[in-house]
Structure 1
Amino acid sequence: MGEAIKGRGSTGWLPGRFAVTTPEVADDGWHQRDHDGELDLLPRTQVTEERARSIISRNRSPDIPFSQSVNPYRGCEHGCSYCFARPTHAYLELSPGLDFETRLFAKTNAPALLRRALARPGYQVSPIALGINTDAYQPLERKLQLTRRLIEVFAETRHPFTLITKNALVTRDLDLLAPLAADNLVHVAFSITSLDNALSSKLEPRASAPHARLRAMKRLSAAGVPVGVMFAPAIPWVNDAHLEGVLEAAREAGARSAGYVLLRLPHEVAPLFRDWLQTHLPQRAAHVMSTVQQLRGGKDYDSTFGPRMRGQGVYADLLERRFALACKRLGFDRDRGPGLDCSRFVAPRAPSPQGQLF
């Protein structure tokens, strides 16, 4: 791979498991230069418009608390080194490394597709999780506003939904979220891995700083929007010591519920995260991966439902105990879901080529 790249979680280009060819990078001297005439070697973010064929993804996994989700973007500029969604770029014959955080796809027809899906006669209402695979409030959203337009569809149809984000940009949409919260139609969770800005900037370089997320959490809570915190992922010997501190700060900011997920390293994420460890925490890298493998039956990852989220063994039991004690002490709700109201749903009219009179 390579050295750390400012503002990026990956250090280089890793071929996906479906790649037909594997290019090798060679320096030919034809570098771009910035406005000051200096060499500009930083990878640029490219955005491609995608006309999606469908927008609601269904889920039957027994360890995930939602049955359907919507993702307006592919790839994520936040650049989280550990992101479990990175392997999805391999299906596009792109790298789960730098391509995942620099070559993004925006589903510009997502709001129209959502309205059409909700208008189908056989549609069964259940809360939709917004922005699960990649963050719906990543920096690209500031300009494109696809997430806001999706929320407008939810508001129009009174459809319940949840969202989880690492970006304080969510406060931009308080004018939509607050009225929905008053009718018990929305729940917002913030993913916070650490209160240490230096560590956070390495783990998730283009996400909002931890204090900014807490400030956003406080604003939403004050406006009546129910908020929660996810300590995700918990990484042995990297951020695990921050668990209680994050929960305490989130509770003070108004969070009502809490959860955590152990580090997951499916497919190409494992070598990418190993490279991140060697780049940023080389003295700790072997110890971290040794513990990860102890949690995963001797492997980098175990995809079995249930254990994939919590792990197994002494360390996993200790982490679960610490989390339970912190939740009890702080008064967090960890036994029930958001309990959103599905009875208010009003299906939109199906689009018709003849238009509508009333």
Structure 2
Amino acid sequence: MSTSSSHPSDEPPIRDQVQSYIYDLQERIVTALEAIPSPSSSALPLKFNKREWTREEGGGGIAYTTSPTPASYSTETSAVGWMEKGAVNVSMIHGMLSPPAIKQMSTEHAALRDEELSKAPLPFFAGGISIILHPRNPHVPSVHANYRYMEITSPSSSSSTTATSSDPKSPPPQQQPLTWWFGFITDLTPTYAHTPHFTHFHKTLKSTLDAHSPILYPAFKKSCDDYFWIEHRKEHRGVGGVRVDNFGEGPHAYFPDEGKEGSEWKRPRTKEGLFKMLKDVGDAFLPSYIPILTDLALSPSPTLGLSTLATPWTPQQKRWQLIRRGRSIEFTLVYERGTKFGLAAKGVNVENVLASMPEAAGWEYCSELGNDWEGEDEEKISEEGKMVRILKGKPMAWAE
């Protein structure tokens, strides 16, 4: 099976289309977040800072991040805005992939298994957007997402891939790929078990993926649930979402029967089809998350006429939020593959790699919060315990 895909002469290569789409998505997300009204008339409006960067080895990107704000147990937002820390960062890099990295990737990509290919570096292009939002209010869940594309090209074009550009948006050199794939993650990390949030989030993702194939959401949800497991805590990081990597035209581990004799392919396989899926999932980010913040129907205090973003909180609830953030940090530093890859990659901006870290987090030795999660009478379990019960239990079918 060929790993290349032709494109109409009047259309640019997929990597150029990916680059254009990703930068457009970044602008749309930043604009939408900045347009969300502050929960208090005296609160500071949300404003992202824009920073362009270049990578000496090839490529660059644009980072939108929020400014540092005072972190405290305060229940007031009059002096600060609703976002404690946020980042919407794009990376478009190209260069040479080392033989050890090629060998590692060959387990997922048959086109890289030629022994001759593993003897010298190969040109690559990797582009994507990473989003992480940590709202100040403990009732509002944090959200994380990234959408990406990668291709590895033939060594005959290596001389053209090492050139760098001072413009982060400049297109990379054009070559014929040996192999290519898409990937994405979108997941929700709540502090409290406001289940309408979880249902809305998952239903939005499911309906988006169902438009491409009904087999996608169940497989991608399971992958996300399995991935965000904190083994040393025996709990999930959050309530999951969808996740897939190395998704191209060939067989994939999520769908072991596809491509075999007598079986049919039941999901997108072409670059165009998979790129359309990536765009649809990326476009679903805002409708999956913004209503959680602003829609009264999804608020934990609708009788008060308050959105989730405007719902008041207590010092204990803020304390619990910081403990939960500590668990997220444990996952990121111990298990998260993207963080490990980023910290090990040459020429990558460490600040961008660690942009997902919350501004404030907490660790308490044997904290009493949430320890009643195993109680037999669920009505007597604390709100913190109810969240722990979900995180330690079997992943739930939130979209059903």
Scaled by the length of structure 2, the TM-score of the pair is: 0.27
Q: Larger radius of gyration, structure 1 or 2? A: 2
Greater RCO structure (CA 8 Å; 6+ sep) = 1
More strand as a share of residues: 2
Scaled by the length of structure 1, the TM-score of the pair is: 0.29
